[in-house]
């Protein structure tokens, strides 16, 4: 147990930074009795020291504007990076580690982009220096859910076979509104923005890219595999329409934006971010609003689900605090973590699928669908067709048996060429299908 007083330099005095300072202040005695040492914020680096803050500056804590006043301060042994971004934050994190300081960050974008580089730096530093540095980033994925530590601690003797996560709060809020309250996409997005769940530019959320960054990190932790984000197939929620929810309800379930990474036979690994059909009795179906959830299917633990807040001042700050306290009591995470990974990433997987076709009425639709599916060896499980066909969003849904995604793509490409097919067929996987 480390008895060294923890002197923190915090980069960022915004929402999360303020939350961290507040918790450290209010729990100071408890942390001291728990860790045997003191945890004090020495300096907070901000852009503008005159800006009014929504938290009280701790005693003896200095607001600074230049990075070096923290980076070059040898009395500071822990750097907390909650400034965001990947340029200056990268400099801060790398320079802090090189200066022998432990680092805690909440920066998802930074971790998604540079985790292997950061780990390599730490391995190098800890290989040659007697003083070891530690790096923690619990808050970087799913704010208040302790999924990083769980991956680093609870699954070390386990074999993860599938991870499925609702890992973007904005889109889950929107889909809940669209499904449960029948709202339009535009209204749901407007409300998400008003409530602060959506970014000013919501593209990263609704396009599925934010979820993909998180999935990439989870894949690194859970499977020991580094994948280029761009290699993970992503479909956002922008193409979802009311009729999709209607058919999902007919099937007894709902549609959520889910990030999935699953082990395939032959040491392969597939992943995607996509709207996904989920049966109502699956726990993930009950995860509503901006809440996040991750379901892990594994050999030992069988099925584990972690549900919690994906963002917000105190959930995110709480995760940073857990990292800070773990450092104070001397816990270590040997790096590189989970280097056992020997899986090969592949851009194809088998699943049952939900395919929705918009159509104008015509003769021979079922026959043509049947022929094309047969040609690409796609077995049809069922066809759902709402009898109300006079509406302008007339659509039917085809549920397939378990088939490769690549075959589904071929079927959809070919059907899209047919006269009756309106727009691009919309396919989504069925969770656990």
What is the distance in angstroms between the CA of the first residue and the CA of the last residue of the chain?
47
What's 430's DSSP letter? B
Nearer to its own copies, 297 or 383 (CB): 297
Task: Report the residue from 55, 94, 209, 306 that binds its own copies according to the rule CB under 8 A.
Answer: 306
Q: Is residue 343 part of the contact set for its own copies (CB under 8 A)?
A: no
Binding pattern to its own copies, positions 156-175, x when CB under 8 A?
A: xxx-----------------
Q: Is residue 91 part of the contact set for its own copies (CB under 8 A)?
A: no
Task: Report the residue from 322, 352, 400, 407 that binds its own copies according to the rule CB under 8 A.
Answer: 322
Q: Is residue 7 part of the contact set for its own copies (CB under 8 A)?
A: no
Sign of CA dihedral 351, 213, 233, 178: positive
Binding pattern to its own copies, positions 122-141, x when CB under 8 A?
A: ----------x---------
Quick one: how far is CA 19 from the chain centroid?
A: 22
Nearer to its own copies, 72 or 249 (CB): 249
Q: Is residue 113 part of the contact set for its own copies (CB under 8 A)?
A: no
Q: Is residue 142 part of the contact set for its own copies (CB under 8 A)?
A: no
**81 strand-pairing partners:** 11, 105
Task: Report the residue from 202, 222, 308, 425 that binds its own copies according to the rule CB under 8 A.
Answer: 308
Tokens read off for 21: 């300072």
Q: Is residue 326 part of the contact set for its own copies (CB under 8 A)?
A: yes
For the CB of residue 109, give the shortest distance to its own copies in the complex, in Å. Answer: 23
Residue 61 and residue 75: Cα distance in Å, rounded?
A: 13
Task: Report the residue from 241, 305, 368, 385 that binds its own copies according to the rule CB under 8 A.
Answer: 305
Residue 284: name the closest of 162, 382, 398, 183 by CA.
162
Nearer to its own copies, 311 or 405 (CB): 311
Task: Report the residue from 53, 190, 242, 329 that binds its own copies according to the rule CB under 8 A.
Answer: 329
In this structure, are residues 225 and 160 in contact, taking their beta carbons and an 8 Å threshold?
no
Where does this chain touch its own copies (CB under 8 A) — which range of 68-76, 96-104, 190-198, 327-335?
Answer: 327-335
Quick one: how far is CA 421 from the chain centroid?
A: 34
Assess whether 214 carries a catalytic annotation. yes
Residues 6+ apart with CB under 8 A from 412: 355, 424, 425, 427
- Length of the chain as a residue count: 433
Under rule CB under 8 A, how many of the chain's residues touch its own copies?
60
DSSP calls for 75-102:
T--EEEE-S-SSSHHHHHHHHHHHTT-E
Q: Which of 43, 214, 256, 262 is catalytic?
A: 214
Token pair 């709480």 in the structure block, residue: 318
Residues 6+ apart with CB under 8 A from 12: 44, 45, 46, 80, 81, 82, 83, 84
**370 vs 278, 311, 376, 383, CA distance in Å?**
25, 45, 10, 10
Task: Report the residue from 309, 352, 400, 407 that binds its own copies according to the rule CB under 8 A.
Answer: 309
Q: Is residue 300 part of the contact set for its own copies (CB under 8 A)?
A: yes
**376 vs 126, 272, 382, CA distance in Å?**
54, 22, 17
Q: Is residue 191 part of the contact set for its own copies (CB under 8 A)?
A: no
Nearer to its own copies, 283 or 379 (CB): 283
Binding pattern to its own copies, positions 34-73, x when CB under 8 A?
A: xxx-------------------------------------
- Write out the residues near its own copies by the rule CB under 8 A: 1, 23-24, 27, 29-31, 33-36, 132, 144-146, 149-150, 153-154, 156-158, 281-283, 285-288, 291, 299-309, 312, 314-315, 317-319, 321-322, 325-326, 329-332, 334, 337-340
Catalytically active residues are: 214
């Amino acid at each position: 147990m480390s008895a060294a007083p923890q002197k923190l330099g915090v980069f960022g005095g915004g929402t999360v930074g303020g939350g961290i300072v507040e918790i450290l202040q209010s729990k100071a005695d408890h942390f001291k009795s728990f860790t045997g040492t003191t945890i004090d914020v020495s300096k907070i680096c901000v852009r503008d020291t005159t800006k009014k803050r929504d938290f009280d500056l701790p005693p003896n804590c200095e607001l600074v504007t230049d990075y070096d006043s923290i980076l070059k301060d040898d009395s500071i042994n822990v750097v907390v990076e909650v400034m965001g971004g990947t340029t200056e934050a990268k400099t801060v994190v790398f320079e802090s580690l090189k200066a022998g300081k432990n680092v805690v960050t909440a920066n998802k974008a930074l971790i998604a982009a540079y985790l292997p580089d950061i780990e390599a730096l730490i391995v190098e530093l800890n290989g040659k220096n007697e003083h070891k540095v530690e790096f923690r980033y619990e808050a970087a994925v799913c704010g208040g859910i302790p999924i990083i530590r769980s991956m680093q601690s609870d699954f070390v003797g386990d074999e993860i076979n599938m991870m499925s996560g609702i890992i973007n709060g904005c889109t889950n809020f929107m889909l809940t509104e669209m499904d449960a309250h029948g709202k339009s996409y535009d209204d749901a997005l407007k409300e998400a923005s008003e409530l602060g769940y959506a970014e000013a530019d919501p593209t990263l959320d609704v396009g599925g890219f934010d979820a993909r960054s998180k999935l990439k990190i989870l894949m690194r932790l859970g499977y020991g595999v580094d994948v280029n984000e761009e290699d993970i197939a992503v479909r956002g929620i922008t193409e979802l329409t009311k009729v999709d929810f209607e058919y999902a309800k007919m099937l007894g379930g709902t549609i959520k934006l889910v990030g999935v990474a699953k082990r395939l036979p032959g040491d392969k690994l597939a992943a995607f971010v996509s709207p996904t059909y989920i049966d109502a009795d699956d726990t993930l179906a009950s995860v509503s609003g901006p809440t996040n959830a991750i379901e892990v299917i594994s050999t030992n633990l069988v099925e584990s689900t972690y549900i919690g807040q994906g963002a917000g001042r105190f959930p995110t700050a709480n995760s940073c605090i857990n990292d800070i306290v773990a450092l104070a009591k001397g816990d270590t995470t040997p790096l590189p973590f989970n280097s056992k990974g020997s899986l090969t990433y592949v851009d194809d997987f088998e699943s049952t699928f939900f395919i929705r076709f918009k159509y104008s009425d015509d003769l021979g639709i079922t026959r043509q669908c049947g022929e094309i599916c047969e040609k690409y060896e796609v077995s049809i499980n069922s066809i759902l067709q709402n009898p109300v066909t006079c509406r302008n969003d007339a659509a039917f849904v085809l549920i397939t048996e378990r088939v490769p995604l690549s075959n589904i793509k071929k079927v959809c490409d070919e059907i899209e060429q047919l006269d009756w097919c309106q727009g691009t067929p919309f396919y989504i996987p069925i969770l656990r299908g």
